[in-house]
Structure 1
Amino acid sequence: MKNRLKLFFYNLPMMGKLLIFLITCSLVPLLVISIYSYTSARNQLLEQAYENMNHMNQQINNNISGQLENFHQISGMLYTNATLKAYLTQAYEKDIDFVEAYGYINDLFFGLMAANSNVDGITVYVLNDTIPTDGTFIKYLYDEKAAPAWVRELDRTYGNVVYTGITLNDKKERVFSLARIMNFNSLNYPYGVLTLSVKEEYLYSMIRQESEGKSIFVIDEKGSILSTKDKSLISKGLGEVLEVEIPMEDTDGRLVMDVRGKRSLVVFNQMDQGWKTVSIVPLDDILRETKLASSRVLLIAGISFILALILILFISRYFTGRIKNLTGQIALIEKEDFSRKIDIKGNDEIGRLSQAFNRMTDKLNILINELYKKEIARRDTELYALQSQINPHFLYNTLSVISSLAIRKGDEEISGIINHLSSFYKTSLNKGMRYITVENELDITRHYLAIQHMRFRDHFRESYEVDETLFPCRTLKLVLQPFIENAINHAVCEREEPLHIIIRLYSEEDRICFEVEDDGAGIEEEKMERLLSGQPEAGYGIYNVNERIQLAYGADYGVVIHSCVGKGTNVKITIPL
C-alpha cells in the first residue's frame, strides 16, 4: 500500500503535487489551528465563567448566611428572654393580669421589627390557653387554623432553629420563616413555638443584581426553590422546573449539561444552613463571541484557500511549460546531440538551470577528450603507489648488508646498532599500517633505547613496570618513543649522575595507560605550553602524539604531562582498552 501511494505521487503531474502540498501545508494546518484556537478559547472562557459564577454564588451565600445569622440571633434573644417566658407561662385569671404582659410583648416585638426592617412578622404559638390571642404576636398552637402545618414538625428539634419553605402570610405575600421550639431551661416542657417571617422579596434582593443574563435559584436542602426571578417557580422542585435532575451530592461543584434543551454551565454552592445557590448560563451565551470569531477565521481561510488554488493553477502552468522545454532539450542531449542550446529567458532557478545546462553541454566535449588523459594519470599514480612499497624493503636490505660488512670487519658494536635501527624501522613502519600491538610498541622503545645507549653509554638507565596481559591489545604506533627521546635529549647532558627513566604499562578502568617518568631537571611551565601547542621552536613530537591520539580515539584520550623543575617529569598517555 505504501509503495502504491509513492508510485501514485511520483506519477502525478506538477499541478496535482502542488494541490496536495497546498492541502497538506495550508488547509490542514489552518483547520487544525482554527480548531485548537476555538477549543482553547472555549475552555478558557468556560473556566473564566465558572470562576465568575463561583465567586458570585459565594458572595450571594455570604450575604444570605449573614442575614440568616442575624435572624438567628434575634430568635436566640427571644428564646433566652426570661421575662418573656414568665409572661407566656403565667396563668391569667383576670383581664387586668395580661394587660401588662401584652404591653411588654408589644413593646419588645415592635421594637425588634423596627430595628430589623427585614423581619416581616414575629409570632409565638403558645400552649397557655389562659392568655388571650391577639392574632398577630400571640396565637394558639393547638388551633389548627392558626398554626401552620410545619409547626408540628418541630417536635424533635430540641430548641434548634429550622427554616421553613415559602408560605403566604395574611397579606398573601410570599415569606419564609425561621422557627424554634421555646423550651428555655425546660427542654422536656416546651411552652410555645417562636417564628420569624421574612419576605421572599428581601431574599431575592440579594440576587437581583446578578440575575442579568443568567438563571439564579436559591433552593433549600430538599431542592425546593426559595427565591428566583420568575416568582411562578417558587416552591417548585428545581428538577421539575429545569426538566432535568442536577446531581448535587457535593456541597460545591459545576456541571455542563442540557437544561431545557440547551447545553448549559451549572454552578452550585452550599451555605452553612444547607441551602444552595444554583447559577445556570447557556453555553451559547458564553461562547457567542468565540463562535463568531471562529466563523470569521474559517471564512477567511476558505477565501484564502480559493485564492491559493487559483494562484497554484497559474503558477503550475507557467512552470510546467518551461520545464517541458528543458526536458525536451535534455532528450536531445541523451541522443548525444550537443549542438542544441536551451533558450529559456529569466534569471530564476529554471533560467539559471538552463544556463548551467548550456555550459555543461559545452564542457562535455572537453571532458570527453580529457577523460583519456585522466585515465593515464590514474595509472601513473597506481604505479607510484606500488613503487613506494618497495622502498622500505630496500632500506631493510641495505641495513642488513651494512651489518654483515661490520661483522666481517669485526665491529660488533656497529653491527648491533644497525640491527637495532633495522628492527626499529621495520616495526615502526609496519607496512604503512597505523596500528600495532602494545608489545610491538614496547619493542620499538627497546630498540630505540639500545641505540641511545650506544651514544650516551651509561648516562641513563631505564626500568619497566608493565602488565604483559595487555601485550595483544592494539595501539597507535610511536606513542612512547617521542617522550623517551625528549627525556634523554633534555636531561642526560644537564646532570652528572645517570638519568633514570621508568616505563610503565597498566590498565585503568576502560583505558590502557602508558607512563614515561624521569628524574631529570623537569620542564618549565612556559616551555611545556609550547610543547603541547606544537610551536615550531619547541618541536612537533609531543604535539603530534596528542593530536594523533585524539583524532583516532576522541578528546577523552591523549597526553597529560606533570613536571616539577629540579625533580623530574611524568608523562601519562591514555588510549581505549
Structure 2
Amino acid sequence: MKLQQKKHKYMPIGYKLMLTYMFCIIIPISVIGVVSHSMYNESLREHTSTNVKGTLLQLRDNIDYKMEEITRISTQLYSDYDFYRNLRSYEEGWENYDRMSKKVLPKLDVAIQSTGMKIGMSLFLKNESIPEIYSNLSGLTGYQENSSIYQIYHMKRIANKSWYKEFPTEKYGETMKWWQIERDVDNNRISLLRRFIDTYNPLLPNEIGFLRINVGISEIFDSVNYTKIGKGSIILVKNEFGETLYQSGELPENYANEAELNKDYLTISEAFGNQSWKLIALVPTTILEQDAMKIRLLIILMCLICCVVFSFIGIFISRYFSIRINKFVYVLNAYREGDLHKRMSYRGKDEFSQIATALNDMGENIEALIKEVYLTQLQKKEAELEILQSQINPHFLYNTLSSINRLAKFGQNEKLQQMVLELAKFYRLTLNEGRTMIPVPTEIEQANAYLEIQKIKYGDRMEVLFDIDPDIWPYETIKLILQPFIENVLKHAWCGDHIHLRIVGRKEMDGILFRIIDDGIGMRQERIDQIFDPKGHMNTGYGIRNVDQRIKLQYGSEYGVTIFSRVGIGTSVQILIPARRSKREQHGEGV
C-alpha cells in the first residue's frame, strides 16, 4: 500500500508526455494560425496598397502632364528673347501699336491656345508705355468659363500685394510657384506665378514683368475620381501647407483627429509637382476586413481540427512510450544510487530492446569507466597546462643574455648589474615555486620587472604607464599573461624612434580586464585572424595564441584574448579572466 501511494505522489511520465506533446502541438498550430492570418492581412494590405499606388501613379502622371502644359506655356514666353525685347521697348504711337499687334499679342494668343484647357493669363509689366489690355476678346471685361483669355496690366497694380512681396528670390529658369491668390479660392482656381527677367544678364536678374496663369482646379484634377479606387474611398490633393486643394469622395465628419481616421482607413500617398504636393488615397478598412473575416474563420476551423486529431495521436504515443520509459527510469535510478547490478528484461526487436541491452552492458563497467575517464581528463588538462607553460619565453633569456654580454663588452657595469638583478627578479617571479596561479600584484610586478630590463636596453625611447585599479589586488590570475604582449609590442610595434605603452587593469562585473595599449604601427584584420586561426601560419602570433589557449583551458571559452587594431594608429589587446580570489584570500575571509 505504501509503495502504491508513493507512485501517485508525482505525475506519471505518460501525462507529462501528453502535456508536452499538447503544448508542442497547440502552440505551433496557434502560432501558425496567427502568423497565417497576419500574413494574409499583410498580403491583402500590400496588394491593395500596390493597386491603389498604381492608380495614384496614373493620376499623378495625368496631373503632372496638365501642370507641365501650363509650365511649358510660361517657359515658352520666359525664354523668348524677341518677346522680351519688345516688352522692353519704350517706343510710342504707331510703333508701339505695330509692335504690340504684330509681335507681342500674337504670341500671347498662341500661348493660351496651345493647350486644350481654359486658362486665364495676366501679364504685369513695368514698361508703362505699353497700354493695359483687360481682355483679348472683344466686348469681354473678365474671365469666361468657356474661353481662354489674356490681360495686360502695369506692375503698380501688384507692387503692394502680399503674395508678390513673398514670392521667392529669382533663380534663372527655375523660380515659379503654384499658388491660390486674389479670388482663386472663391473661383475654385489656382495660378502659376512666374517672374519675367531681363535675359541680357541672367546672373544679375532685372525684373521687367510678372506672369500669372490661372486655371480651374477641377480642370487640372478632373482625372482624380474616388471610384477608380473603390466604393467608400476618398482621394485628396493637398498642397505643401497641408491644405486640401481638391477632394473626391465624402470624408466622414465624426472623426475627432487623424489617429481615429487612420484606424478606419488605409492611407496611401504619392508626392507630385515641384512644391511637395501630395495625392492621398483613403481606403476603408471595412473592405479589407470583409475578406479577412472569411480567412480568419477558415484558419480557426483548421486549427481546431488539427488540435483534435493531434490530441488523439498524442494520447496513443504518450501511452506507448511511457510504459517503456518507466522501465528504463527504474534501472537508471538504481544506477544513480550506486546499485550497478540491476538488470532489465525487454521483449521485442526495436530500439528499446537495443537500449535495454546497452543499459545492461553498461551497468557492468560504468563505475570503472567513470573513474578512468575522470582521472584521464584531469591528467590531460594538467599536462596541457604544463606544456603551454613550458613554452613561454623560450627566446627571452637568450636575448637578455645577449644584451648582458653587450653591456659587459662595453664596460657598462652599472647597467649590467641592474639588468642581472631585474632578470633574476623576473625569473624568481616566473618560477613561483612551480605554481600556475599567482596573485594579480605578482603578475603586475613580473611585467614591471620585464619592462625594467627593456628600459635598460631602450632607454628614453620607451615610455610606460601603469593604470591599475586597486580593486583587483585580492584576486589571482594565470602567471605570465601580460609579458608576452608587452614583448610583442617592443618587438613588432615600433613606429619611428619612440613607443608609448599603457597597461590597464580594471574589475568589470565578475571579471578582470587587462588592456595593453600601444601607439605603434598597428595590424590589419587579416593579421589578427591569422593569429587566432593560423591555417599554415603557425609561427604567426605564437605567444599571443599561447596566452589565449592557457586562459581558455583554465577558465573556459568565454574568457581569453581580444585584439583591436588600426594600421598607423596602434593596437589595444584585451585580456579577460574571471575575478577569483586566491585560496589564501578566501581563507582569510572565512577566518
Q: TM-score range by the shorter chain?
A: 0.3 to 0.5
TM-score between the two structures when normalised by the length of structure 2: 0.40
The normalised TM-score by structure 1 is 0.41
Query: With CA pairs under 8 Å and 6+ residues apart, which has the higher RCO, 1 or 2?
Result: 2
